[in-house]
Structure 1
């Protein structure tokens, strides 16, 4: 899905009520043109702004605040596991970057190089980190001498640059993005294996507990795993509007490959020399884009309360002939009451904007609860609240306001996850034979199929699915043409959680070839 690098007109330039209403919403239906809808929502809600370098974007406070919520949660959790934060340089030498050939081959087309300083050519070009294994591991080789130096568990919150030449999509695919990258070292494979899945479960919690987006835990195929690693675990999401899967976060066991290349060895407890076992793991600002795509609607963002910068916005309603100062005072009291209870509340008392304008703008920005306070509400000792997730309105007595708002925020969070999980589950279809594959994908579904795990078979799946989908392309599917190659997304760790599936037996054949099937595997078109 490509997005258009365009500037939105300023509010003051919009004169007609119809044009203003259009600007205060997504401007196009989510099902009508998904690409334009996404572009409009993230720009009009003030999540991003465009930059004069293609594929790079400004993260405005509305989105960066969400990233801070993710940072705070994840950082606290990894510190419970003994992980410490550090910082390593942005630049990496060509010699270090090419030390591990299989690893760099996976990133080579995306590496950005610095070749000049002022008007002078550098004697040796240096790369801007696409990832930090080759930056960090020479230091690890110096620091680790004995089994007493292990485990070593470091993480850094940084930016990386990958010079993508595919269509840029803000948050999902950009040339510079923010992430955390953990790089850990152990004396045994058992320790490394344990941590891989500890981190994977934390990533799943980020999406499900904070962003209300359901995830599937699994392992990547040999062709899809991290270049140079032993194996890759992953959580996979689903975008129902276009039926595509999306890799949400990964946790890799690197094995001993990098320790061989960078000579990370230690004296074990028996006096011998051993190579270290290593992991790396990361989650990025892609999280925000996935959340937007899953929950947003034709009116804009729908933010889960746990990450919403503002959880409740108070809008005072004024009436001619009434004492508006009373409304202002009560609105300020309500905001302070909510803040004192730990709720992120905001008062919108901006002059020159009608209540309708304010309602639309806060809906566009996805604020979970809107609180309306007018003279009649004050007389009745109540307020009117409106939920963003289902737009239900109700009157709430002042005496129970804090409790009701707190409970409603919890209800919205739970509803968003339940709704997204139901949609995801209904969009996963088990198949057993190839003729069912592309037609199922064309329904905007993911596929669970018995698979042989042979790399050549996966190559065939990509090639055949691409050829068939192009032949069947429907030009009327504006905004999300259901074409393109499908690939394995993951081998689910718990496929029975997704569907009631028969066991793989000696007689079970791969859905795509005549080989014996090994595992139920999730396939789909993906970002």
Structure 2
């Protein structure tokens, strides 16, 4: 059993991750062990995104995880915030003490230049771009990198906030501003489609207020999603860098008119945090619920074995297994005999496998199989000869149901408010998204956060509203923004 979501959301979340086999603590604060099932889930996500990025012209590269401090420090705005959480390598060797029971840093091995462990790669990549970009003919450069990064977190939580995380980070260079902005927005649409159509997580597109944008960027676009505890999670970001990095690293190119100008840039990324978002968006008190499109195992077949019909049950199960494999369904046949069927039921419910097929004596007699769907707990007897068509159709139904349930929750927890007292009462009692007017000042945003813990998640693209008055200051406001408590 796990803690109930309604009673202790934080413990519920952590227990699901550990008991489902996604990940566990490593013993080093902020560093987690991603277990095989969790890594398989990440690979499903990675493979889907990688295909889309390649289809849109992006190429995979890999840059070093260590960045010389002098290079990292060149873009001041970028360095200012990231440097507070950087890991730095200062020495290259260790040595044993005299009693040989301990090791210490060898003082003679101090590096001539300290190395920053990658928190993000803009600096090292733009430092190389100046070698590769000389003419408009060299542009655009559309690079994507799969790797890891390290940012020293004070408060950590499995997947959601870890010191080390896996991610993809895109870095592009362009010959003009419009092309770069279009690239940043196109990537945001790719992330949106991936989140909604594969992860079944509805998201809100928008732009971050200026005080919360990525340092070193001109604009930060984002997608936000509302979790089951009515808090918002930033799913992904896409940054229009302007010419900030090209100017810092002197990346110029000869334009069509034969004049030198600075390149325009973007960067964007999505990380293993998305697995935390998947857990919090859909799961229940029996474990994970994973949408079929992204599920490592879409169907599990469990035989209810009896000695007198052992071969018959196995043969039928294997036939169904082969039928589903041939139509591209990710299926597992669990015929282990050292675990009871009931134990297996619990295991695969905890892992969030969308469909379970049970085959036993009753099923053989009726020439039907029992199909259990994880999202609704419904069971249905299906003729064996209809298995292929029924399962394929059911997977689509499950995907749609999980998404629609999340959409309904988001709509239910979204409200417009114009009175600050009402705002405070609502955010403390119900959470969710509050659409409210803001005067555009950092001071007002900070005061609201201090008094309510709610922050401006984004200035949404989709909401069109009249001008009004700031909910806090009463000053003029051009549009509503989205406030929420968040992770």
Per-residue CA deviations over 1:285-322 (Å, capped at 9, x if unaligned) read 111110101111000001111111111111111346x3
Q: CA deviation at 1:49?
A: 2.3
For 1:474, the equivalent position in structure 2 comes to none
Residue correspondence of structure 1 range 246-285 to structure 2 within 5 A: 246-285=233-272
Cα distance in 2 between the residues matched to 1:353 and 1:261:
61
Consecutive unaligned residues of structure 2, counting only runs of 5 or more, are: 94-105
- Report how far residue 254 of structure 1 moved: 0.4
- Aligned partner of 1:517 in structure 2 is 477
- 1:523 Cα offset (Å): 0.5
Partner of residue 53, structure 1: 28
SS at match of 2:268: strand
* Distance in 2 between residues matched to 1:353 and 1:88, nearest whole Å: 46
- Deviation of 1:276 after TM superposition, in Å, equals 0.9
Provide the TM-score with structure 1 as the length reference.
0.88
Structure 1 contact 186–276 (Cα < 8 Å) conserved = yes
- Mapped contact 1:44–1:364 kept (Cα < 8 A): yes
Residue of structure 2 aligned with 1:494, choices 455, 462, 470 = 462
Q: Does the CA-based 8 Å contact 1:313-1:369 persist in structure 2?
A: yes
Question: How many Å separate the matches in 2 of 1:438 and 1:64?
Answer: 40
Post-superposition Cα deviations, 1:182-211, rounded to whole Å, max 9, x if no partner, equal 110111111011111110011011111111
Alignment match of 1:434 (pick from 413, 420, 424): 420
Q: What residue is the counterpart of 1:303 in the other structure?
A: 290
SS of the aligned residue for 1:523 comes to: strand
Question: 3-state DSSP class of the match of 1:155?
Answer: strand
Structure 1, unmatched stretches of 5+, are: 1-21, 466-484, 497-502
How far apart, CA to CA, are the structure 2 residues paired with 1:459 and 1:311?
Answer: 45
Match for residue 331 of structure 1?
A: 317
Q: What's the Cα RMSD here?
A: 1.2
Inter-partner Cα distance in structure 1 for 2:216 and 2:338: 59
Within 2, Cα distance between the matches of 1:46 and 1:407? 28
Counterpart position of 1:500: none
What is aligned with 1:171? 159
Q: Deviations over 1:315-364 (max 9, x none)?
A: 111346x3222111211221121111111111111112221111111101
Shift of residue 123, structure 1, vs aligned partner = 2.4
Structure 1 SS opposite 2:88: strand
2:305 counterpart of 1:318: yes
Alpha-carbon deviation of 1:445?
2.1
> Which residue, 93, 97, 101 being the options, matches 2:68?
93
Task: Give the Cα–Cα distance (whole angstroms) in 2 for the partners of residues 329 and 78 of structure 1.
Answer: 42
1:8 is aligned to: none
Contact 1:431-1:447 at 8 Å conserved across structures? yes
- Is contact 1:504-1:517 (8 Å) kept? no
2:482 is paired with a residue of what secondary structure?
A: strand
Residues in 2 aligned to 1:316 and 1:441: alpha-carbon distance in whole angstroms: 49
Pick aligned residue for 2:171 from 169, 183, 197: 183
Alignment match of 1:238 (pick from 216, 220, 226): 226
Deviation at 1:147, TM superposition (A): 0.8
Write out per-residue CA displacement over residues 72-98 of structure 1, whole angstroms, 9 at most, x where no aligned residue. Answer: 221111222211111111100110111
CA distance in 1, matches of 2:341, 2:145: 44
Runs of 4+ aligned structure 1 residues displaced above 4 Å come to none
SS of equivalent residue, structure 1 residue 223: helix
Pair 1:504 & 2:479 matched: no
Instruction: Tell me the SS of whatever aligns to 1:58.
Output: strand
Report deviation, 1:463. Answer: 2.2
**How many angstroms apart in 2 are the aligned matches of 1:181 and 1:254?**
14
Moved more, 231-240 or 352-361: 352-361
Task: Give the whole-Å Cα distance in 2 for the aligned partners of 1:204 and 1:345.
Answer: 28
**1:123-178 residue CA offsets vs partner (Å, 9 max, x unmatched):** 22111000001110011011100111111111100100011112x11111001101
Q: Is the 8 A contact 1:240 1:427 kept in 2?
A: no
1:34 aligns with 2:9: yes
Q: For this pair of structures, how many residues does the alignment match?
A: 472
SS at match of 1:171: coil
SS class of match (1:36): helix
Normalising by structure 2, report the TM-score.
Answer: 0.95
